[in-house]
Amino acid sequence: DAGVTQSPTHLIKTRGQQVTLRCSPISGHKSVSWYQQVLGQGPQFIFQYYEKEERGRGNFPDRFSARQFPNYSSELNVNALLLGDSALYLCASSSLSAQETQYFGPGTRLLVL
């Protein structure tokens, strides 16, 4: 079985630009969560989507938005990038029967210059 996949693997942007990150969950998983991991820290929760509806939002500004598609894949958008947005962005998926058990993708490493 394929695990959670994310694209792109690496991205370099400049301040003020916009970025879209993509995630495909494990087959059969309907819940997708996004986390930001700054170097040397634990992942911080950004969003959770289940059945295409937002179920939770972390303490991130409105520049961050996300959506989930009918095939349960998801996109994370970040507008007006700041230097501090440089981080590893992780996507995690979970199944209906064990929603708390989250499996992470390899992440997208974003560098904002």
Partner 1 sequence: GENVEQHPSTLSVQEGDSAVIKCTYSDSASNYFPWYKQELGKRPQLIIDIRSNVGEKKDQRIAVTLNKTAKHFSLHITETQPEDSAVYFCAASRNSGYALNFGKGTSLLVTP
Place of tokens 């930001």: 36
Interaction of residue 84 with partner 1, rule CB under 8 A: no
Interaction of residue 54 with partner 1, rule CB under 8 A: no
- Residue 83's φ and ψ, nearest 5 degrees, are -55, -35
Place of tokens 């560098």: 111
- Residue pair 5/103 in contact (Cβ under 8 Å)? The answer is no
Q: Which region among 11-19, 66-74, 75-83, 90-98 touches partner 1 (by CB under 8 A)?
A: 90-98
Reading the block at residue 83, the tokens are 């230097």
For residues 30 and 16, what is the distance between their CA atoms, to the nearest angstrom?
32
For residues 23 and 108, what is the distance between their CA atoms, to the nearest angstrom?
10
Touching partner 1, residues 2-41 (CB under 8 A): 4, 31, 33, 35, 40-41
Please select the residue that binds partner 1; options are 55, 61, 63, 80, rule is CB under 8 A: 55
Q: Which region among 10-18, 64-72, 77-85, 93-101 touches partner 1 (by CB under 8 A)?
A: 93-101
Residues making contact with partner 1 (CB under 8 A)? 4, 31, 33, 35, 40-45, 48, 50, 55-56, 58-59, 90, 92, 94, 98-107
